[in-house]
Amino acid sequence: MIPKSDERIRAIELRRNGLSYSEILKRIPVSKSSLSLWLRSVGLAKRHIQRLTEKKRASLQRGWAAWHQVRVDRTEKLIDAAKKEVGKISSRDLWLIGIVLYWGEGSKQKPHNVSQGVIFSNSDPLMIKLFLKWLRETIKVSEDHLGFELYIHESSKTRIPLVVQFWNEVTSNSRDTIPTYFKKDKIRSLRRNIGENYFGVLRIKVRKSTDLNRRIAGWIQGICDNCRVV
């Protein structure tokens, strides 16, 4: 067995050479408390401090990367399992889905505007696709009754051709252009909806749809009645 005094001398030497506590413990089998006691007054050269700092940073990055991958894998498993729970969507399911979508994102008739038609606005292309599927396949709205408008921040003016092409593909719109309206940017705005993935808000307008809006209001009331939330 190596005497404690020799272990202490060896530990101090290794520390002065820039080794970390964990690296020293791999070579000298003593308790961490003993090592801390021996080395508490041992200083390190600047280059050694820098090396240990980089080593610690690299260790933290590896730990973060491993944790990130665990989270990604867990998220993928949860999403895959949840997708399977949905099962097949019936025509009635789609009908109800469209009603609830409009309840959340559509324009409603008010006492001061009893002739409000069907208008649906959103920035999510998948939601836009789903609502259009509802209009076309379930409600049987003809293409000549569908209109589109684009609302986007004026800082994206130079991207308009690309943005219009994007929404034309999303909506299967055969028209070359979409009427575009610009929103003024605030100087000190902290908006996150900027950059290449920002495509503004698309508004779907159904022509001559005052009565359809009233029917949707009735369907919404029917859902509430049957769910006993009134």
Q: What is the pLDDT of residues 170-228, one digit of tens each?
A: 999 987 789 999 988 765 555 555 678 999 999 999 999 999 999 999 999 999 999 99
Say if CB 200 and CB 150 are below 8 A apart: yes
Q: How confident is the model at residue 102 (pLDDT cuts 50, 70, 90)?
A: very high
- How far is CA 17 from each of CA 45, 127, 142, 154, rounded to the nearest angstrom? 9, 62, 80, 60
Regarding pTM above 0.75, the answer is: no
Between 121 and 5, name the one with better pLDDT. 121
4-16 and 32-39 helices cross at what angle (nearest 10)? Answer: 60
Write down the pLDDT at residue 12: 85
Res 41: pLDDT? 83
pLDDT value for 87: 95
49, pLDDT greater than 90: no
Q: Are 42 and 17 in contact (CB under 8 A)?
A: no
Phi-psi category of 42—alpha, beta or left, where left has phi over 0 and alpha has psi -120 to 50?
beta
Residue 51, classified by CB atoms within 10 Å of its CB into exposed (0-12), middle (13-18) or buried (19+), is middle
pLDDT at 130: 98
Indicate the pLDDT class of residue 19, thresholds 50, 70 and 90: confident
